[in-house]
Amino acid sequence: MNAFEYASPKSLNDALALLGGSWNDAVVLAGGTDLLSCMKDHVMQPKRVVSVRLISDLKGIKATSQSLRIGATVTFDELMSHPNIRGPYNAIFQAVQGVSSPQIRNMGTVGGDLCQRPRCWYFRNGLSPDLIEKGENKYHAIFWNGSAKFVSASSLGPALVALNAKVKLASQKGAREVEAEKFFVTPANAQAREIDLQPNEILTEVNIPGGAGLRSATYEVREKDALDWPLATASVALMMQGMQVKSARIVMGHVGPTPVLSEDAAQAIVGKVITPEAAEAAGDAAVKNAKPLSDNGYKVQLAKVAVKRALLAVGRAR
């Protein structure tokens, strides 16, 4: 790991003043579960590390009947233990529940999870992404364009996209809000980031709308119950009208460079009662545009099953 300057400001304004115009100038440290690994592997080599753990503006969970606000430095443990991260927001609880390591749940934060870098071994070892298509790609994307065939590593991303969340970003020039769906981006080149965040910005909070009739769930497929990243996930958020689905957002995770929102799957379930047959049809629709690589065709079936089981979980929760 290269030498770096460390700062631990107590206010958001002070933290923003310590950032720079490039990613090499400074990076934000929350829990450090991903950043420190990147620095040790020389994936990131910042001159300054700015800890935000002492900034009160980034803490806390606030729930109303119509919305949920989650601070960027809220840990996964805090999410799991909060009474409002259930019910309509159950997709978030189930996504956090899948992170089985007590150490990571204790240190890992919401903002850190959304901003973590790809866990693709080609990326982490400084190799060309062009090697992926014909190389060892069993854990890579089945939805992709161009050379970006890694999968988004965020555990919360699919659930937040399904729940139509917005991410708040602050800089010295002011604040802006970005839809979670648009916060995750496919990088145009090797130097670009996988999220819509600038080097001089800090992710401060996530805001999620609620509403009567909202139901959600996350279903993950893993190789083992111990700490591991999923092979495929699905998060669904449905507005129900009685027994019927009034509207739906169905998102697959760990199958593309960004969480994959499937309009086809939503159309397949809207207006219907959630039955095993209807859920299976939505799963089929979700993966119809998949483009598996040479060694990951199995992920198509996993993603399809994840969508089906997430929908059935919502149906059982009524």
Digit-coded pLDDT (tens) for 214-250: 999 999 999 887 778 899 999 999 999 999 999 999 9
Query: How many Å separate Cα 91 from the centre of its chain?
Result: 12
Predicted local confidence at residue 189, as pLDDT: 76
| Residue 318, pLDDT above cutoff 80 | no
| Residue % of the chain over a pLDDT of 90 | 80
Token pair 């629709």: residue:
285
Residue 276 has pLDDT above 80, yes or no: yes
Q: In which band, very low, low, confident or very high, does the pLDDT at 210 lie, cut at 50, 70 and 90?
A: confident
Average of per-residue pLDDT values in the chain: 94
**CA–CA separation, 276 and 258 (whole Å):** 28
What is the mean predicted confidence (pLDDT) over 267-285?
Answer: 98
Q: What is the pLDDT of residues 115-150, one digit of tens each?
A: 999 999 999 998 888 889 889 999 999 999 877 899
E strands, 81-129, are none
* pLDDT (0 to 100) of residue 128: 84
SS3 219: strand
Q: Is domain 58-318 given the CATH code 3.30.470.10 in the classification?
A: no
Collapsing DSSP states into helix, strand and coil, what is residue 270?
A: coil
Between CA 67 and CA 102 the distance in angstroms is 28
For residues 112 and 52, what is the distance between their CA atoms, to the nearest angstrom? 11
pLDDT of residue 259: 98
The residue behind tokens 């729940």 is: 163
Q: Is the pLDDT of residue 205 over 90?
A: yes
Encoded amino acid at 54, one letter: L
Given this model, what pLDDT does residue 28 score?
97
Burial 260-285 (b: 16+ CB within 10 A, else e): bbbeebbebbeebebeeebbbbbbeb
- What element of type H or E holds 93? helix 90-97
Provide the pLDDT confidence category of residue 72 given band limits of 50, 70 and 90: very high
Separation of alpha carbons 10 and 312, rounded Å? 45
Strand, coil or helix: 68: strand
The per-residue pLDDT for 222 is 92
What is the mean pLDDT of the segment spanning 280-289? 98
Per-residue pLDDT reduced to its tens digit, 147-182: 789 999 999 999 999 999 999 999 999 999 999 999
Across residues 266-290, what is the average pLDDT?
97
pLDDT value, residue 288: 96
pTM to 2 decimal places: 0.96
Give the pLDDT confidence of 6-34 residue by residue, as tens digits: 999 999 999 999 999 999 999 999 999 89
Domain boundaries, the chain: 58-318
**pLDDT in the model for residue 1:** 82
Given this model, what pLDDT does residue 41 score?
87
